[in-house]
Amino acid sequence: MLGLAGWLAFTFLAAVSGAVTAKTAASFYARLEKPWWAPPSWAFGPTWSVLYCLMAVAAWTIWRDHGFAGAQFALGLYVVQLALNAVWSYLFFVRRSGRWSTYEAAMLWVGVASTMIAFWRLESSAGILLVPYLCWVTIATALAASVWRRNPHLLGAR
């Protein structure tokens, strides 16, 4: 269980870094024009909390069954996508860059998909645990692009 606790702590560091860089996220997000299909703002916190738990369990499963040496590539991809995850909030809420946050969300999607495939090849249950994350990042990427297009005055081309 200590290993699982470590993966949970490591994974939630990305959540904390995103929260710290997005101090004014709620008020800024409320000002944005959003598409009709945008999830309500209250859904983001609980959804991300569940996704971070699923991500950590997936990484722990890979580590438990294969170790770092046996899953170096897959766990490396996990770290890369986690770093991309943490950077998005900074680009969107601090830099207020629609362009770069949208590009970065697309890179995150590729990172999550690559990690999911790598995990799946080692342990299908770990790959399956990342499916909801990929679905959510798909929505988030489309939302970032849509919000950027609707709010050029707030999310300029920086």
Structure tokens at 105: 């969300």
pLDDT digits (tens, 9 = 90+) for 95-111: 999 999 999 999 999 99
Please report, for residues 43, 55, 123, 125, 131, the alpha-carbon distance to residue 49 in angstroms, rounded to integers and kept in the order given: 10, 10, 23, 20, 15
Of residues 89 and 150, more confidently modeled: 150
pLDDT of residue 84: 95
Is pLDDT above 90 for 66? yes
Q: Name which of 16-20, 31-35, 108-112, 136-140 the model is least confident about.
A: 16-20
Locus of tokens 């950590």: 56
Among 88, 108, 113, smallest CA distance to 98 is for 88
Please report, for residues 30, 68, 106, the alpha-carbon distance to residue 137 in angstroms, rounded to integers and kept in the order given: 20, 26, 9
- The architecture of the domain spanning 2-150 is Up-down Bundle (1.20)
**Mean pLDDT for the chain?**
93
What is the length of the chain? 158
Per-residue confidence at 1, pLDDT binned at 50, 70, 90? confident
Q: Where exactly are the structural domains of the chain?
A: 2-150
At 50, the amino acid letter reads V
pLDDT of residue 46: 92
Of residues 23 and 82, more confidently modeled: 82
Is pLDDT above 70 for 23? no
